[in-house]
Copies of this chain bind each other. A is one copy, B any other.
Amino acid sequence: MKLVLAVIQDKDSGRLQDALIEADFHATKMASTGGFLRAGNTTFMIGTEDENVNDLLDLIRSHCQSRTQVMTPIASLDGNTDGYVMHPIEVEVGGATVFVLDVDQFKHF
């Protein structure tokens, strides 16, 4: 038995939760902040059998991996962009920091 603690961005939280339910992993969520990722993240606590840890890690990676998104900057409020061209820019989103811990005893009452 392992306990997997995954710190992910809030924006990936819903997608990961749906994927965990679909794959029959049982997770508890806690609000967390700062540090590993930009402010506003979620810590998932997931108990699983040793033989399912790799599947769980794959699932976390595929739903939360750090990636770039193309965004077009919003024009100034007064619309006064004149001769400037608004170039799309890339921003980094997502990412996950994951700890896998050994469980000495697991109980469900």
Contacts and interface: CB of A to CB of B under 8 A. Distances in A.
Contact of A36 (B26, B36, B96, B99): B26
Interface stretch (A2-10, A73-81, A85-93): A2-10
Chain A binding surface, main DSSP class: strand
A23 interface: no
A1 B97 CA distance: 13
Interface residues of A, number: 46
Contacts of A98: 105-109
Interface string A26-59: 1111111111100001010111000001000100
A97 B108 contact: yes
B47 A45 contact: no
In the A-B complex, the 7 residue pairs with the closest CB atoms? A100-B105, A27-B35, A98-B107, A96-B109, A28-B35, A61-B109, A65-B109
